[in-house]
Chain A
């Protein structure tokens, strides 16, 4: 490894490791406020949709919104969980159960 490559790598390492929290706190606050209001609206939409199949789609979008809110709360692990469960696994389970129930009614 030549000295120039070593210097470049050391500079990159310093930039990656030593970079502090660079987002202005006011911006992060604004993002959190917007996301909180969107989540409240999303919850209202999900609870007030009466048809279960449409409510499942609304739940999927609500899960996505909730995941982004958790990311703004500095919780990436919970984001991953909520994304996979709320936007993927729960709608699958709900749609399968609704298919089972709906075919019976025919």
Chain B
């Protein structure tokens, strides 16, 4: 089958598929005419029931908490898969990368990049922590905060300090922190079961002021665990990919 024939066959198929797709979509109530009751019901009762002013995070970690456990474990499994595939790839090389490749910056790093990266490490880490701890008040949450926190570590690598990056995020520690985060979320649910409620029931005191950092019970705690788990997963993934590139540079020098 030639590429041109494949292209025309695809265009035919996609035209038919999109015709049905659009026929189905145009029978929806239209953009802006949201009819369903659940959105309005949750907007009305969420602040009163959970003392959390960020309704999206309340939905994520409280009303729909069980699905979020599943999604967090998808992330965890994907990170574990990346580590498995790439570490096995690394071990298949003879011995592993030479230490001489570690101290160097990625080629083409100017002083401007290094300075800018180092300057931003602290504020980005602080911002990531702020996002992960304020899930119940503002548009924040464990997922975004975790990725921003991981970005702070990646900035250390971009500043040319691969040794520093490896020192602050050794592979064993990152693995353990990720596992603690994933297990912590599941454990909070199990703690609710042990205390006699349903799984992931909000059993901690709800606080008095809606939207304070210490209010809304388990939502803040779950967001913290999700934050460290997402951060550990992304640091793990980036660390594995970086070691792959170092491997290439080392064997390029040896050959």
The chain A residues found within 8 Å of chain B, CB to CB, are 76-77, 79-81, 84-85, 88-89, 92-93, 96-97, 99-100, 103-104, 106
Contacts and interface: CB of A to CB of B under 8 A. Distances in A.
B56 A99 contact: no
B244 A92 contact: no
**Interface on chain B toward A: helix, strand, loop, or mixed SS?**
helix
A103 B249 contact: yes
A97 B140 CA distance: 30
Per CB-CB distance, the 3 closest pairs between chain A and chain B, nearest first, are A76-B139, A96-B241, A103-B248
Nearest to A103: B248
B96 to A, nearest CB: 15
B147 interface: yes
B237 A93 contact: yes
Contact of A93 (B56, B148, B238): B238
B237 A99 contact: no
B147 A92 contact: no
Interface residues of B, number: 24
B178 to A, nearest CB: 16
Q: Is the interface of A mostly helix, strand, loop or mixed?
A: helix
Contact of B234 (A77, A81, A89, A104): A89
B57 A77 contact: yes
A77 B248 contact: no
A24 to B, nearest CB: 14
Contact of B154 (A76, A79, A92, A104): A92
B151 A88 contact: yes
Contact of A81 (B143, B151, B249): B143
Contacts of A104: 248
A84 B230 CA distance: 13
B95 interface: no
Given A81-B143, A84-B144, A89 B248 contact: no
Contact of B238 (A80, A85, A92, A103): A92
B237 to A, nearest CB: 7
B131 A80 contact: yes
B151 A96 contact: no
Contacts of A77: 54, 56-57, 139-141, 144
B131 A96 contact: no
A76 B55 CA distance: 12
